[in-house]
Structure 1
Amino acid sequence: MTVGGLTNTASAEEKVVVAVSPLGADSNLYWTTAGAFIFPSMQTLVGNDAQTGKYDNSQLAESWEHNEDFTSWTFKLHPAAKFSGDWGPVTAADVVHSFNLHIGEDAKLSGISNFRKMEITAVDHHTVRFDLPNPTPNFLFSHAGRGSLVIYSKAQFDAEGLAGYEDAPAGSGPFEYKGREVGQSLTFSTIEDHWTGVRPEFDEIEFRWVGEPSTRLAMLSAGEAHAVTLPRDLQDDAAEPGQKVLSSSEGAMQSTMLFTGQFMNPEAEENRDARTYAWADQRVREAVNRALDRDAILEVLYGEGVRALPVYTMDPRFPGFSEEIAKGFDDAYGYDPKKAMALLAEAGYPDAFDNPEIPLVVTSLAGNPEFAQMAELVQAYLDVVGIKTQMREQDWATGNTAIRGFTADFVTPMRNAPVRPSALGVQIFFTKHASPHLDIGDPELNDLGGKLISETDPATRDEVLKAMFTRIFDSYAHIPMATVPASVVVNGDLVEGWNFPGASSSGLSHYHLIDLK
């Protein structure tokens, strides 16, 4: 049997070692973590194709359907799906049980608050239905690589309680949990004759938590690890002795620099917006974008395989993508310092502004060490065209506190990872409808966002999204930077390749597709 295009591979012979940064939470109870790492032994309801990242049935749901207004979603489970360790078949009761665990008071998963507003019903042994309070066309995102819900065995819980999960959670994936050394490693063994027909080329896979990137690089060079994650500034060093950098088939992250405050709201309260700041003038916002040599910046920050991003949260995998915007990016946003200086002169910058100085946040975020350097490079280019800047060092938590308190008066880097469906992302980062503290205050965008909430016709939603992205693009409402693939460095003597789509929170997945030499 094969599922979702996955096929049998060669017989297993060895253990694969993957060295990565330590997790934020070392726990077998997925819902108590931030959701950055789904065990290869566990499964969600919906899969992602390894090459395209599109939703597929390679996980527990054989098929799914929704009602006309997207408020009810029904999933039919693969009838052959079963848990490891003789814990029996995967049924609708397991999904309901897992759902209730994930919405508990100890849940820390991002986005889990939305699940608490839903109702779940086991329709029959292999069918489960989610009833939602609002239309949710993007519901599959939560059940795929984003991993808001992974499925645990109810039979194991009934027999052993949470202690059973903490000791050795049964999963339905092609690997079986073997054990962990807290703070050091986590090991899984390959399952013979797995219900999907998947058969990795190796007997075991071990994840080692190694904090220092230089140590991970040394492990790779010494043949102690098959694959490691490395900051991009070390990847060139890894390539010198013949190692290989492998990238996800699709973008795993989008990065941007956001102007904060309700700078496009003509009626915003003075203490809640940035209308007294220079970027309230569209000519200044365009000048900021024209001042940047993105090709040079992205080469320094990310190296090869990175694409300039026309509009933050727009992605060709999701509705709303505009080929017209993508093709017009160079003309509208291309590096042109003379044009930037002309726009500033037209706007009367700096004398016409009470606050001509633009604060740039220098910060770091786990998984994005390049953010501080991004701010420094942007400052250097803005300085050339005469834009006054202030470098403001602050940690991520301090910046978020200011943004959520409507006191932010700076330009800050932001990431979108895994890449959200466009309809969700654009609402979060530009309107009042999902995250009001990030609302830029544009009445047109907020009106379009309101239509998007109630509209269920796919074609109409696509047009509304295109209109939103066009408005963001034309008004220079942000500083879009890059679409970035996830990357892993492999020992070229041990690993031939590895296909993964970059659809998970960590960027890595599809461990069964690691191709050994």
Structure 2
Amino acid sequence: MILILILSLALAACSSDGDDDSGAATPAPTSAPAAASTSAPSAAPTSAPAAAPTAMPSAVEPKVDRLVIAMPPPAAEGNQPNVDLGPLTIFQLRPMQEWLVGYGTDGEFEPMLAESWSVEPDGFSLRFQLRKGVQFHNDAGEFTAQDVVHSFEQITREDSIHPHARIHRRNTIEVVSDYEVVFRLTRGNAEYTNQLSRQSGSMAITSKVDFDSLGGEIDLGKRPVASTGPYQYESRDLGQAITYERISWEHYNGTPDFPEIQMRWLPETSTRLASLLTGEIHVTVLPEDQAVQAVAEGHTRIRGPITQQRTWMAMYGVYTDGDAPSGYVHPEIALHDVRVRKALNKAIDRTALNDAFFGGKAQLMIIDKMPTSKPYFNPEWTRNFESEYGYDPTAARTLLAEAGFNSNNPLEMTMRMINLSDYGGSEDVQDAVAGFWSDIGVKVDQVVIEATRFRNVNREFGWTDLVTINASSNFDIQAWRVYNSHGVPRGSLEQTELNALHDVLTVTMDEPTQNDLLRQLGDTAFPLHTQVPLFWLPAEMIVNPEIVASWPYPGSISRVFSHFETIKAAR
């Protein structure tokens, strides 16, 4: 029955979601690249070269003045990147924002507003040499150390909902001069360079002068605080679109081709496809069946070179509590039983999902957060995947029966439905997973939960037996902290066995030791079924080749859309 449902969903796929980035316009690819090749290093580098960031060639005359990019709407709109937004919602402001550390289209750190950086003698604090002569939008003056301090103060505000806020609050910042600052860390943080970078979207640099001129509180009734990107804010139609215009002066990284970029919120994939075919929009993301249709009608695919984006079903409700006798907040819930988690995994036919919704291009995820190309990856996980996670509905029913669930006492799960902006068809994938689980006797209640409520309840450890689809381009160290540990922000299923390893890993700056700890984490987590892994996905956009010639971007940034300044107009 579920196979018929999958086929029908794949043919319809008109109530979905999508969002992905890419490199250069190409014909439809015949295969997906290996998972998660190049990525930003985990540990803070001992130094960074002062080489110029990825350069943009001189602008050419585009065929349209305004490039329209359609995507699903963000979970929340906001004008304060360090207070109101986070890594999964910052994409709405990316055209105007810059960070201390850049992230090149090859997936490597590079200079941005910092020309170089280095680790201090204490082994974990970071010193930054700032770029001189960079101008803020809105006549807000030149970028200096005071703006770094201001941005740090914003993300560390008590009312900041940015998920990295609590991490930054542990640190202090020291101004050495107008163009030199030191972040004083109280302990090692293997992620901190990344948490100051374009890749993570954490601590975007905004103007202190402009913030003060706007009165200090920047709600949606005002414009965003000035930043330093090659595009600046023009207007926002709340719930509909946000538009940017090219700055009138020469940016240190060159001049973009398009005078304006509009990000238009279109939640329905069918609407995005129709708008693309009629020329109303020029770039979008689509589920595979609609992407095939668009390519057949003359559009092209642009794919990011780094297959680091992952999608999985996250399980919520298993929160650790060191003060509780059991070690857990809700020891009585079904997801606390590893047999239940294993049954949910073995109920899913991943091959059918891949064929139906990703055209067979997705790469099977063996273990969540851990790409097969990394040195810490254990080949034993691949060899044991079929027995632990492989499709076997009979075994899944047996596991549920052993856990005490049957037709008279069915397992009940809540599935939070999300229209992800990372790739097309996420709602259809969720429907198919719910169908697989229903086939083994699980009662799945598919519901929509508003993002703020979901986050607030999770902070109070209030969810029980809840699952939701997720997608992200973070992995290994950051992803373990976010999704499977008692470290902030307490993102998903926790296990006491993993917390001790996580605590050592997050303060370890030595890469070989990090790899040893990551292998131990994987060895421990694999038989515990801490998530429902699905796929590594290639980042891909569909473009009108009459308008867009290429768009180099890494494909390894959450919510995918990035590097807007590199979009090249068709000649």
Q: TM-score, normalised by structure 2?
A: 0.75
Q: Size of the alignment, in residue pairs?
A: 503
How far has the Cα of 1:60 moved from its partner? 0.9
Q: Does 1:306 align with 2:306?
A: no
Tell me: CA distance 1:438–1:494, structure 2 relative to 1, closer, same or farther (3 Å): closer
CA contact (8 A) 1:288 1:382 kept: yes
Tell me: CA distance 1:205–1:293, structure 2 relative to 1, closer, same or farther (3 Å): same
Residue 114 of structure 1: aligned partner: 167
Residue 480 of structure 2: aligned partner: 426
1:461-505 C-alpha deviation (Å, 9 max, x unpaired): 220111101211234333211223444321132222212223444
CA contact (8 A) 1:363 1:371 kept: no
CA contact (8 A) 1:274 1:409 kept: no
Indicate the RMSD between aligned Cα atoms, in angstroms: 3.8
1:100-149 C-alpha deviation (Å, 9 max, x unpaired): 23333553433223323321121112111112333211012222232221
Structure 2 counterpart of 1:143, from 196, 215, 232: 196
How far has the Cα of 1:508 moved from its partner? 0.4
Q: How does 1:23-422 map to 2 (within 5 A)?
A: 23=74, 27-35=78-86, 36=89, 37-51=92-106, 53-57=107-111, 59-67=112-120, 71-84=124-137, 87-105=140-158, 107-144=160-197, 145-157=199-211, 162=216, 166=222, 169-181=225-237, 183-196=240-253, 198-210=254-266, 212-230=268-286, 234-251=290-307, 253-262=309-318, 268=326, 272-274=330-332, 277=334, 280-282=337-339, 285-286=341-342, 288-303=344-359, 305-315=361-371, 321-322=376-377, 324=379, 327-328=382-383, 330-333=385-388, 335-337=390-392, 341=394, 350=401, 353=404, 357-367=410-420, 370=425, 372-381=427-436, 387-396=440-449, 408-410=463-465, 412-417=467-472, 419-422=473-476
How far has the Cα of 1:450 moved from its partner? 3.0
Q: Does 1:464 align with 2:522?
A: no
C-alpha separation between the residues in 2 aligned to 1:213 and 1:382?
25
C-alpha separation between the residues in 1 aligned to 2:269 and 2:428?
18
Residue 501 of structure 2: aligned partner: 448
CA contact (8 A) 2:96 2:244 kept: no
Amino acid at match of 1:200: P
1:312-340 C-alpha deviation (Å, 9 max, x unpaired): 222468x7741525643655556453xx6
Tell me: CA distance 1:353–1:155, structure 2 relative to 1, closer, same or farther (3 Å): closer
C-alpha separation between the residues in 1 aligned to 2:320 and 2:441?
21
Amino acid at match of 2:108: K
In structure 2, stretches of 5+ residues that fail to align are: 1-49
In structure 1, stretches of 5+ residues that fail to align are: none
Residue 3 of structure 1: aligned partner: 52
Tell me: CA distance 1:264–1:477, structure 2 relative to 1, closer, same or farther (3 Å): farther
Tell me: CA distance 1:434–1:466, structure 2 relative to 1, closer, same or farther (3 Å): farther
Amino acid at match of 1:50: T
Residue 68 of structure 2: aligned partner: 17
C-alpha separation between the residues in 2 aligned to 1:251 and 1:500?
12
* Bigger RCO of structures 1 and 2 (CA < 8 A, at least 6 apart): 2
CA contact (8 A) 1:320 1:464 kept: no
SS of 2:193's partner is: helix
Amino acid at match of 1:239: V
How far has the Cα of 1:157 moved from its partner? 4.7
How far has the Cα of 1:308 moved from its partner? 1.8
CA contact (8 A) 2:147 2:206 kept: yes
1:292-320 C-alpha deviation (Å, 9 max, x unpaired): 32121133344454222122222468x77
CA contact (8 A) 1:252 1:484 kept: yes
C-alpha separation between the residues in 2 aligned to 1:403 and 1:27?
21
How far has the Cα of 1:47 moved from its partner? 1.5
CA contact (8 A) 1:68 1:456 kept: no
C-alpha separation between the residues in 1 aligned to 2:559 and 2:60?
28
SS of 1:249's partner is: coil
Higher helix share: 1
CA contact (8 A) 1:257 1:411 kept: no
CA contact (8 A) 2:287 2:357 kept: no
1:225-263 C-alpha deviation (Å, 9 max, x unpaired): 221344566434433422223333334642223455559
SS of 1:146's partner is: coil
Tell me: CA distance 1:377–1:507, structure 2 relative to 1, closer, same or farther (3 Å): same
Deviates most, 131-140 or 366-375: 366-375
Q: TM-score, normalised by structure 1?
A: 0.82
C-alpha separation between the residues in 2 aligned to 1:100 and 1:127?
17
Tell me: CA distance 1:115–1:271, structure 2 relative to 1, closer, same or farther (3 Å): closer
C-alpha separation between the residues in 1 aligned to 2:525 and 2:57?
46
